[in-house]
Chain A
Amino acid sequence: MADNDSNVLQSEAEAADFLRSLLNKNLRVTTTDGRMFWGSLKCTDPESNIVIQNTYEYRRPSLQSLQKQTAEAAAAAAVGESTTPTPAPAPEPGATAATLKMDMTSRYLGLVVVPGRHIVKIEVEEFASQMKNSAAVERAESPL
């Protein structure tokens, strides 16, 4: 996966500025087991252990339940069943909406720590309209 920054080697000050610019932004953190955690960044340390708040866990459904889901698709659609189990549906991370809304199951976890060694991907969410003002994420439209 292409990272959109060129200068991976940063000065200490630049690095700290960059990390600080991400504070309170919504991150999507994917872990080694394929789950994705969506919450706002509060803290990080030299090992990239990150603390995120108001976190929701998203998980791809298993093959078994996908098959079951397909089989029941018609009926489920008829009664408006949702795969989101909470009565008040969790706010979906905007970008995943189209393709994942039907598939991912989510639940609220609150404040979590994701250890750096289990992180395979970190994405930061920003409003497109605000991005030109952001020094944090250097431009170029996101890949894909």
Chain B
Amino acid sequence: MAALPGELKYIQYEHSLESVYLPAIRALISKDLSEPYSIYVYRYFLYQWGHLCYMALNPSDSSLVGVIICKLEAHASHSPPTMRGYIAMLAVSATYRGHGVATALVKKAIDAMTHRNADEVVLETEETNIPAMRLYERLGFLRSKKLHRYYLNGNSAYRLVLLLKQIDPDAATDLSLDEVDTGPS
């Protein structure tokens, strides 16, 4: 575990940064994944929700140390629809783990989603990924359900939920417990 190279820079993604950072984002994320994503998985999130993507940069050379990619949209199976934030990908370079970079990125993303009126933030994480589960649970996420053999490698997942606002009791009749959510996380 390397020491952090000073105070990291946290910046919001924007399309003008694509040529500099998109390849690095892909490389960083695919390193940790059992399931590979095509370039369009990234396009899907960044095209509409680039502002919910945050990057942690090394202050000395501006190289990418960590990244979080999210989306936020009306979740239709609730009535009235809720604004549901979704953390799709989170990765930190192995060299800089253990310094709270991931937590800082998740906080930035939650803050950004809260600012944009999110009612809740959800994600899935592999049941064997204890550090990830601990990270999210320390922030206030709760496991809402388990998803059997959710990943190609046969592992199950937990759906984690962070409620940001009180549920409208009249809307609670629709649980949306079984909707298929966006695949990657």
Contact = CB atoms under 8 A, between A and B. Distances in A.
Q: How large is the interface on A (under 10, 10 to 19, 20 to 34, 35 or more residues)?
A: under 10
Interface string A11-53: 0000000000000000000000000000000010100010100
Interface in B35-73: 38-40, 43
A115 B39 CA distance: 8
A136 interface: no
B40 A43 contact: yes
A90 interface: no
Contacts of B43: 45
A127 B155 CA distance: 48
Nearest to B38: A113
B23 to A, nearest CB: 10
A115 B9 CA distance: 31
Contacts of A43: 40
Contacts of A51: 40
Interface of A: 43, 45, 49, 51, 113, 115
Interface of B: 38-40, 43
10 contacts: A43-B40, A45-B39, A45-B43, A49-B39, A49-B40, A51-B40, A113-B38, A113-B39, A113-B40, A115-B39
